[in-house]
């Protein structure tokens, strides 16, 4: 991978992480929880969200992580609705950013800017699709977990405790692609509606 490709990837990753975490923080703020705002995380500044090791993993393996935005769901008027909306907000922010990149590709002619817009679009779509997987601590789990009946708490606890091994198995066996592809295809179709 050339230096220019690495730099373009870093821009795409930084944008994807920043808008994703800002989406969580801002939606929580709108719903009555200012925990992220208090910690200076309701910002688009990548430096506030990037985890150095997670960033390195993303550049090398296309799998990594950011610093999670702190959210106190006790501040929501409705716990279930608040959790679902905040969990969705990160992916929605990524999809909106991907759409903005597509719109830029329609008007920008400079090759370097087109490269940045294309890579940023791809990272945002990938970030949204990955985070929508229903595996703790990803957002997809935050969307469905509030609706799991209390009587299944023991099963949920065991599933949550096994989440990282499950995620690693999915990634290293290739099953991850099988599961995430339909989500990515839906996001791709949404974004391409604006091309």
Burial of residue 54 (CB within 10 Å: 0-12, 13-18, 19+) is: middle
Q: How far apart are CA 96 and CA 105, in angstroms?
A: 14
CA gyration radius for the chain? 17
Name the nearest CA neighbour of 59 among 7, 16, 128: 7
Phi then psi for residue 50, to 5 deg, are -80, 130
Cα within 13 Å of Cα(104), Cβ side: 18
Burial of residue 53 (CB within 10 Å: 0-12, 13-18, 19+) is: exposed
Active site residues: 21
Phi then psi for residue 68, to 5 deg, are -65, 140
Cα within 13 Å of Cα(131), Cβ side: 29
């Amino acid at each position: 991978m050339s230096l220019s490709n690495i730099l373009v990837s870093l821009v795409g990753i930084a944008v994807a992480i920043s808008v994703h975490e800002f989406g969580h923080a801002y939606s929580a703020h709108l719903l009555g929880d200012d925990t992220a705002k208090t910690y200076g995380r309701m910002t688009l500044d990548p430096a506030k969200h990037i985890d150095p090791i997670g960033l390195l993993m993303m550049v090398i393996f296309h799998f990594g992580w950011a610093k999670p935005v702190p959210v106190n769901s006790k501040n929501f008027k409705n716990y279930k609705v608040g959790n679902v909306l905040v969990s969705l907000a990160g992916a929605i922010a990524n999809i909106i950013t991907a759409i903005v990149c597509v719109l830029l590709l329609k008007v920008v002619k400079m090759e370097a800017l087109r490269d940045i817009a294309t890579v940023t679009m791809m990272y945002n779509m990938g970030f949204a699709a990955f985070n929508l997987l229903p595996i703790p601590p990803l957002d997809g789990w935050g969307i469905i977990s509030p609706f799991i009946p209390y009587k299944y708490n023991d099963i949920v606890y065991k599933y949550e405790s096994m989440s990282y091994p499950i995620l690693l198995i999915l990634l290293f066996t290739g099953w991850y692609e099988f599961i995430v592809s339909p989500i990515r295809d839906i996001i791709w179709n949404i974004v391409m509606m604006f091309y």
